[in-house]
Amino acid sequence: MAKVSKSQLIALQRKLTTDEAIGKKFHVTRQAIHQLRKKYGIASNYAKNPERNRKITALYKKGTSGTAIAKKFGLSVSQAYRIIDLAPSRKRKR
């Protein structure tokens, strides 16, 4: 397994964001980094997605375009609309 300390892993997670990117840096698999995160008790960046998705839905309800939302959150336009479509009780108009 990769020799990555807890503090290194936290810093790399902020910088590189994904387990796959961190794994490439250390020439190990994404799964190895995932196991280290679990061992150290570090939450995945994906844990923040529900909060992000609520913000995306709220912006869309206020009239912000899907393209502007995608740019703001660093997503593709199709991913932004997918999040909007999957929001609870959301009837999207186009």
Answer yes or no: is pLDDT of 89 > 90. Answer: no
Q: Which residues contact 41 (CB under 8 A, 6 or more apart)?
A: none
Mean pLDDT of 10-19: 86
pLDDT of residue 65: 94
CA atoms within 13 A on the CB side of 54: 3
Percent above pLDDT 90 for the chain: 34
3-state secondary structure the chain: CCCCCHHHHHHHHHHHCCHHHHHHHHCCCHHHHHHHHHHHCCCCHHHHHHHHHHHHHHHHHCCCCHHHHHHHHCCCHHHHHHHHHHCCCCCCCC
pLDDT in tens, 31-69: 999 999 899 998 877 767 888 899 999 999 999 999 999
pLDDT of residue 1: 56
